[in-house]
Structure 1
Amino acid sequence: MFARIRALREDKDWTQKEIADLLKVNQTTYSRYESGDLDLPTSALIKLADLHQTSIDYLLNRTDRKEPYPPKKK
């Protein structure tokens, strides 16, 4: 998982600080998410999946399909 969130960030040439600001955490916390030293909270997983237009399962390395799931019907 941690390699995927880093790769997705680097593919877009974003810094850890930029992603940390979007998640409303400091850069050190985000760095610890990427290194695996700190578990990502569910709210951060959701935001990262939305940001990178992928599924949480992809971020968690449970699938190799990057496409997000279709949204829930209202």
Structure 2
Amino acid sequence: MRYNERIREIREDNSLTQQKVADLLHVGQRTYADYESGKTRIPVDSLLILARYYNVSVDYISGASNVKTKYPQK
């Protein structure tokens, strides 16, 4: 699974709007929609924010793994 599909899936699983997630990332809704569609690559720092927010590993949210492990705690 590609990261853009994964971020959409996780957002929908958490019943969040694109606007809510865009606000979390401090970007416009259109920019976030472009991340989900794959039109624009999401910055790594935004993937880290989403991984922390959803409490999943960066490997999972990026699509590198299908194992839904928790975000590592300090």
Higher relative contact order (CA 8 A, sep 6+): 2
Separation (CA, whole Å) in 2 of partners of 1:70 and 1:19:
21
Separation (CA, whole Å) in 2 of partners of 1:6 and 1:17:
12
Q: How many residues align?
A: 72
Q: List alignment gaps of at least 5 residues for structure 2.
A: none
Could you tell me the percent identity over the aligned residues? 43
Please report the RMSD computed on the Cα atoms of aligned residues, expressed in angstroms. Answer: 1.2
Greater gyration radius: 1
Q: Please name the residue that 1:67 is paired with.
A: 69
Q: Please name the residue that 1:18 is paired with.
A: 20
Separation (CA, whole Å) in 2 of partners of 1:17 and 1:29:
10
1:31 to 2:54 alignment: no
Separation (CA, whole Å) in 2 of partners of 1:37 and 1:50:
24
Q: Please name the residue that 1:45 is paired with.
A: 47
Separation (CA, whole Å) in 1 of partners of 2:71 and 2:15:
25
Separation (CA, whole Å) in 2 of partners of 1:63 and 1:21:
26
Deviation by residue 1:20-74 (Cα, 9 ceiling, x = unmatched): 00100000000000000111111101001011111111112111111135334xx
Separation (CA, whole Å) in 2 of partners of 1:29 and 1:53:
23
Q: Which structure has greater helix proportion?
A: 2
